[in-house]
Amino acid sequence: MQAGDKYRKGLESYNAGRFEEAAGLLSEALQERESSELWNDWATALFLNHRPAEAEAGYRRALQLDSRNAEAATNLGALLVGCARPLEALRCLEGLSDQAEVVESLRALCREALAKQRRGNAPVERLEHHLARAVSTQSGAVASLLLRTMALKNAVTALAPAQPKAGAHPPKLIPTIPAAEILPDSEVVELSALDSTEENVTLYELCLIVRLCRMQRPRTIFEIGTADGRTTMNLAVAAGDAQAFTLDIGRPRVGARFQDLPVGSRITQLIGDSASFDFSPFFNSIDFVFIDANHNYEYIRRDSHMALRLLRGGQGTMVWHDYIGHWPGVMRALNELFASQPALAGMNHIAGTSLVCAKVSNGFAVG
């Protein structure tokens, strides 16, 4: 099916109220051809499927491609109002006039919410009544689909995340850059254990991870997901005298690659499930974090939040593996973190790999 056909079918599913199906079809269309209009429609389908963080990232990508897309800007403003972020919403709605009455209604809600915040009152307001009144004066060609649906379906009050449809891969929201943009060719490294298993990163990915580590000259490294320890060993060797910590569940051959080598004296193998592991003894003491453990959405979210708290002074380098369609949980979690965590706004996907990296200078996660 061509991108245009997927787009049309996605809109048909959307108009029929099958938002999850619509998001999957629009996602597939985006993989082949991206446009500001398509990003806006995809984000709207996701928002109505109760996935606001990804929807926010989609609207922002739509505006990145076309800053004059008034519907995307209005939709983003409405989403931010619904998420009790009125100041951000006001900034987003600045300069909009194509949907003047809808926009002015949203601005009024923002001002009211900000006034309540100043008085110390929680801005928990339903938007349906206000939006229904605002939208009722607009023609179908002008009024935002998102606003109409919010007014009719109480979408703002149902923001719990939902699991994505099986087989529908999220598009990549994180910018893709060539490795040369962040890694100078002068950074030479030596690699060991070149043979790999299905759990290991590729040789090219290993080279890039090690170069990123060596470039930072970390004093401490923390790896979430040891497997046989191939990456752990190479990171520890490249970082010189650095102390490395690596966490995995207790299983056969965990850390086998480094256990009998001299570098093993600088590697501490930790045993536990990252979902319940107590990271607090390592908070504010790590310079480089590599995340490649359980690829479930909830795990990636928690592991990443913990990693931000690990960073010494909120600064350091974070690297994730498997940002690829085969692992939709990883893609969805990293897309949301990119959109919602200011400390991770500089995340980049390295071209030709499934690696995402971030140089963090203002860490400490929230949410």
- State the DSSP string of 160-206: ---PPPTT-PPPP-SPEE-GGGTS-TT-----------TTSPPHHHH
Residue 273 placed within a domain: yes
- Residue where a domain stops, chosen among 98, 123, 157: 157
- Same-domain pairing of 120 and 32: yes
Using only the alpha carbons of the chain, give its radius of gyration: 23
- Same-domain pairing of 188 and 333: yes
Q: pLDDT value at position 365?
A: 46
Neighbouring C-alpha atoms within 13 Å toward the C-beta of 339: 22
| Of 363, 307, 6, 333, nearest in space to 172 by CA | 333
Q: pLDDT value at position 364?
A: 57
Task: Give me the number of domains the chain comprises.
Answer: 2
Residue 166 placed within a domain: no
- Same-domain pairing of 207 and 90: no
Let me know if 251 is exposed, middle or buried by CB neighbors in 10 A (0-12, 13-18, 19+): exposed
Q: What is the CATH number of the domain that holds 192?
A: 3.40.50.150
In the chain, the amino acid numbered 120 is G
Structural domain for 283, as ranges: 176-360
- Same-domain pairing of 90 and 52: yes
- Same-domain pairing of 137 and 240: no
- Same-domain pairing of 223 and 98: no
Please tell me whether residue 339 adopts helix, strand or coil conformation.
Answer: helix
- Same-domain pairing of 194 and 343: yes
Q: Which residue has the tokens 């209005």?
A: 74
**What's the pLDDT tens digit per position in 281-317?**
999 999 999 999 999 999 999 999 999 999 999 999 9
**How many Cβ atoms sit within 10 Å of the Cβ of residue 35?**
16
Q: pLDDT value at position 156?
A: 32
- Same-domain pairing of 239 and 337: yes
Residue 163 placed within a domain: no
- Same-domain pairing of 192 and 311: yes
Contacts of the segment 72-75: beta carbons below 8 A, 24+ positions apart: 72/36, 72/39, 72/40, 72/43, 74/99, 74/102, 74/103, 74/106, 74/144, 74/146, 74/147, 75/40, 75/43, 75/44, 75/47, 75/144, 75/146, 75/147
- Same-domain pairing of 234 and 137: no
Query: Quick check: pTM over 0.75?
Result: no
Q: pLDDT value at position 150?
A: 42
On whether the CB atoms of residues 352 and 180 are closer than 8 A, the answer is no
- Residue where a domain stops, chosen among 95, 130, 157: 157
What is the per-residue burial (b if ≥16 Cβ within 10 Å, else e) of 10-29? bbebbeeebbbbbbbbbbbb
- Same-domain pairing of 132 and 190: no
Residue 90 placed within a domain: yes
- Same-domain pairing of 185 and 331: yes
Residue 164 placed within a domain: no
Residue 239 placed within a domain: yes
Intervals of the chain under pLDDT 70 = 1-3, 97-102, 117-169, 186-188, 363-367
